[in-house]
């Protein structure tokens, strides 16, 4: 179920040092970046790494209800888990902001 998948994802992300939180529309936002110090100098690299890591979480847990998406927001990680089937607008540029 989507609720079970969200719980699995949050538990694994916490174990990786992230602070996952529920967000608008059923998304899971990450309130921090465990690589923040490096991101200050190499934002595009770290944001790309975070996206790849979250894509691996989705694939590794075989999550069907969410997808990793670039979604930079002030004070949060540049990647979020978004419900599948939502709008497919243009993805934000990683490392922006």
Residue 86: band (very low, low, confident or very high) from pLDDT cuts 50, 70, 90? low
Q: Judge if pTM exceeds 0.75.
A: yes
Percent of the chain with pLDDT over 90: 55
Confidence tier at 94 by pLDDT (50, 70, 90): very low
3 state SS of 96 = coil
33, 46 contact by CB (below 8 A): yes
pLDDT tens for residues 33-77?
Answer: 888 889 889 989 999 999 999 999 999 999 999 999 998 888 889
Distances (CA, A) of 37 to 10, 27, 41, 44: 23, 25, 8, 13
């Amino acid at each position: 179920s989507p609720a079970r998948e969200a719980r699995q994802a949050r538990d694994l992300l916490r174990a990786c040092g992230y602070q996952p939180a529920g967000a608008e529309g059923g998304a899971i936002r990450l309130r921090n970046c465990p690589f923040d110090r490096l991101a200050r100098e190499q934002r595009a690299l770290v944001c790309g790494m975070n996206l790849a890591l979250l894509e691996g979480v989705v694939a590794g847990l075989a999550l069907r209800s969410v997808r990793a998406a670039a979604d930079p927001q002030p004070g949060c990680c540049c990647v979020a888990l978004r419900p599948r089937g939502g709008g497919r607008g243009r993805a934000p540029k990683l490392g922006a902001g």
